[in-house]
Structure 1
Amino acid sequence: MRTAFPSAARPALITTAALGLALIVTGCGGPGADEEVVGTSTPTPAVSASATSIFQLSPGQCFDRPAEDRLYEVAVVPCEVAHDLEMYALFQLDEPSWPGGDRVHELADAGCREQFAAFTGSEPADSDLGYTMYTPSEGSWSEGDRQVQCALELNSGGRMIGSQVGGAGMGGAQVGGS
């Protein structure tokens, strides 16, 4: 099993690994009456999502948060369709033995923060985007798992439209909570 953590921009949310996992599995719905929509989406009505293991994603793929009963199966959609997350970086931790959950989170956060600007063209503090991290748990580490996955999300909790590579999609982002 892997653990997911929200970005360091929201440290109050990081109280336990269970809370981090709960944040990952709670998705946001489409725009409601109290949400502002910035830009427009023109996807075809027949767009379908494909169910994929979160471990099979590559940078640049857009997807929705996993359902609570399917923690690591995500709906991959074209980035032009409203989506919760966009994978932007994958990297391996090179610690030889389990360094502890706090150290894994620290290393993952540093790597995701470093690669954030390379993908989006801006620093996290200067962006409406945040990120969430999928990290190895102690159990998966013992099986050789060292991969960290970094995914963009809107700080507002809303859904994005368009890829966020180079900041290109922010004009088409939907802003708002779930």
Structure 2
Amino acid sequence: MSDVTSTPAVPLIRRRILASGAVLSVLLTGCGGPGGAEEVVGASPPSPAVTAEATSIFQLSPGQCFDRPAAEGLYEVAVVPCEVSHDLEMYALFQLDDPAWPGDAVVHQQADQGCHEQFITFTGTEPAQSDLGYTMYTPSEGSWSEGDRQVQCALQFNSGGRMIGSQMAGPAAG
């Protein structure tokens, strides 16, 4: 565990992910997270005994651990057991309910609010009290017009390091 204080505000980064004609924008938001997790710094691919399963980012469920896509614009991620070093852990999925496209700023605000609330539920910790932050995968205007309203929230270390193990709070963390 580091004694360095993490900064609560990290610049917003946007990427576009193309999948089956739908575009999903990725918004990265820096927040804190539970400090008891082991952090692995640097690239540490899974050992040869562990097989990463290529999965569409749209098919991930809470509790699944995965690595970032290898190239810009890819929507396929390598899902690995959480016990193996990994970049991200999906922790929440939810739907936005606006019937018409509300705009990028509103989608970002609603996604950030939902991911923040679910962060606390999943980790048992306020983001500002944590070494973890989260990444939000949100619908774009184009995918919205095709019926996409899903927001995906994934945990990551604020430092950019890799995690080992699930970050889900245990029963005693309450």
2:86 corresponding residue in structure 1: 83
1:88-167, aligned counterparts within 5 Å?
88-166=91-169
Residue correspondences, number:
140
Counterpart CA distance in 2 for 1:110 and 1:9 is: 12
Identical amino acids, percent of aligned pairs: 73
Question: Is the partner of 1:165 in helix, strand or coil?
Answer: coil
- Alpha-carbon deviation of 1:9? 3.7
- Alpha-carbon deviation of 1:102? 0.7
The answer to whether the Cα contact below 8 Å between 1:62 and 1:79 also exists between their aligned partners in 2 is yes
Question: Is the partner of 1:82 in helix, strand or coil?
Answer: coil
1:25 corresponding residue in structure 2: none
Cα-to-partner distance string for 1:27-85 (whole Å, 9 max, x where unaligned): x6239xxxxxxxxxxx8750010000000000000000012156210000000000000
Q: CA RMSD in A?
A: 2.1
1:56 corresponding residue in structure 2: 59
Correspondence 1:29 to 2:29: no
Counterpart CA distance in 2 for 1:98 and 1:67 is: 30
Counterpart CA distance in 2 for 1:138 and 1:7 is: 20
TM-score (norm 1): 0.74
The answer to whether the Cα contact below 8 Å between 2:95 and 2:151 also exists between their aligned partners in 1 is yes
Greater share of residues in helix: 1
1:14 corresponding residue in structure 2: none
Q: What are structure 2's unaligned runs of at least 5 residues?
A: 1-22, 33-41
Q: 1:3 to 1:163 in 2, by over 3 A?
A: same
Q: 1:7 to 1:149 in 2, by over 3 A?
A: same
TM-score (norm 2): 0.75
Counterpart CA distance in 1 for 2:151 and 2:161 is: 24
The answer to whether the Cα contact below 8 Å between 2:31 and 2:130 also exists between their aligned partners in 1 is no
1:3 corresponding residue in structure 2: 25
The answer to whether the Cα contact below 8 Å between 1:8 and 1:109 also exists between their aligned partners in 2 is no
Question: Is the partner of 2:77 in helix, strand or coil?
Answer: strand
Between 1:78-87 and 1:60-69, the stretch displaced more is 60-69
Greater share of residues in strand: 2
